[in-house]
Amino acid sequence: MSFDTLTDDIDYQSLKFEEIQRLEERLNEYKVPKNVAIIGPPRVGKSSLMNSIIASFSSKCWRERTREGFVDQPGEQVTHHLIKITKNEYLGSERQKSYPYPTLIDMDGFDDESSDEVKEQLRYVLFGVVPNEENIKDTIRVHTSEGVRGLREICEQEQEHQRMDCLIFVASSVDLLPCNLMEAIKQITLEEERDVPVFGVLTKKDKCNPDETDSKKKEFCSKLGISETRSLLCTNYCGDYDNYKGQSRVNRLYPELDVPILTFMTQVCDPWIKVIRDKALPVRSKSKFSAKTDSVSTGSRWKVVGCGLIIMGVVIFTMYKYVKIR
């Protein structure tokens, strides 16, 4: 383990206080909280990052707001649903709640593919079509089989309020980079109608060889198509860090982990970094997504034509019978 960047001489508690002030100055520049999606492959530390971000905002203690953990079976994931947590749920103090702290959205991991299926799943997430506590693939299934109306039944909010304002892409600094998924992210966020800002986080810094951190970060940023100012290499609150400290993270904070996360979140919350073409509709000529929307409207059109023909048939039949009787 390498925790050599952390020294006891630095007063991280005061630094954390200054970083929170800087963050709140940024948040003061706008009113509506940003929707921040945390996206990445399975098991890289997405949920741990979300819990660490919330801990970094807190003056009390770390808490497990979204389930993180270890599953002993390959390919098995802990998070299976989209989990949306608003500032009113995770902030403790009324003073902090008066600022538009972001809404954080955790979800299941994406396969490392740049396939049409993965791109479709990303579109559903970014356009805010997946409702809170629903599974991405199940949402697509409902949309495919029951159309827009089926989706509305499981969506409790207007889609406009659920759209993602930015995306934090998470990968592990000790595993191979998920290059195919990163390519899909690049395509969906840059080449689609709605241009969503991307940030990148490499987790598990504690396990990464210190000689490789710079090159790893550079490679990560270039593959994701972002500048290094939009990236972070960090250690999350996790069991390994507890072991290093010889104590449990429950009921305490580690300001030395909070400070870099807060600096990064101040960048994420910059009002100048925003979606371009935000009003774009979730319609793509070649996607299944639009095909479903289209097929629903085409289906409705056929229903109207069918009803019209039946009514005409009934009228002609009645008139014919009436003429025959007379």
Ligand X SMILES: Nc1nc2c(ncn2[C@@H]2O[C@H](COP(=O)(O)OP(=O)(O)OP(=O)(O)O)[C@@H](O)[C@H]2O)c(=O)[nH]1
Q: Which residues would be at the binding site for Mg ion (CB under 5 A)?
A: 46-47, 78-79
DSSP notation for 243-297: HHHTS-SBT---HHHHHHHHHHHHHHT-TTS--BSTT--S--TTSHHHHHHHHHH
Instruction: Name the DSSP letter for residue 78.
Output: S
70 or 272, CB closer to ligand X?
70
Candidates 24, 36, 48, 112; binder of ligand X (CB under 6 A) is 48
The binding track of 191-220 with respect to ligand X, each residue x by CB under 6 A or -, is: ------------xx-xx-------------
Rounded to a whole number of angstroms, the minimum distance from the CB of residue 78 to Mg ion is 5
125 or 151, CB closer to ligand X?
125
Contact 12, 255 (CB under 8 A): yes
47 or 58, CB closer to ligand X?
47
Rounded to a whole number of angstroms, the minimum distance from the CB of residue 153 to Mg ion is 27
Restricting to residues 53-112, which ones interact with ligand X according to CB under 6 A?
A: 68-70, 77-79, 109
Helix, strand, or coil (residue 233)? strand
Q: Report how far residue 273's alpha carbon sits from residue 196's, in angstroms, rounded to the nearest whole number.
A: 9
DSSP H or E run through 89: helix 87-90
Q: Segment near ligand X (CB under 6 A), from 46-54, 82-90, 183-191, 208-216?
A: 46-54
Look at the alpha carbons of 54, 60, 62, 65 in this order and tell me if their dihedral is positive or negative.
negative
43 or 223, CB closer to ligand X?
43
By a kind-dependent CB cut-off of 5 to 8 A, residue 204 interacts, out of ligand X, Mg ion, none, with: ligand X
Residue bearing tokens 């947590």: 85
Q: Report how far residue 38's alpha carbon sits from residue 31's, in angstroms, rounded to the nearest whole number.
A: 22
By a kind-dependent CB cut-off of 5 to 8 A, residue 120 interacts, out of ligand X, Mg ion, none, with: none
Look at the alpha carbons of 103, 104, 108, 111 in this order and tell me if their dihedral is positive or negative.
positive
Q: Report how far residue 230's alpha carbon sits from residue 319's, in angstroms, rounded to the nearest whole number.
A: 74
Residue bearing tokens 């079976």: 73
Establish if 313 lies at the interface with ligand X (CB under 6 A): no
Restricting to residues 222-281, which ones interact with ligand X according to CB under 6 A?
A: 235-236, 238-240
Rounded to a whole number of angstroms, the minimum distance from the CB of residue 109 to ligand X is 4
Residues in contact with ligand X by the rule CB under 6 A: 42-48, 68-70, 77-79, 109, 203-204, 206-207, 235-236, 238-240
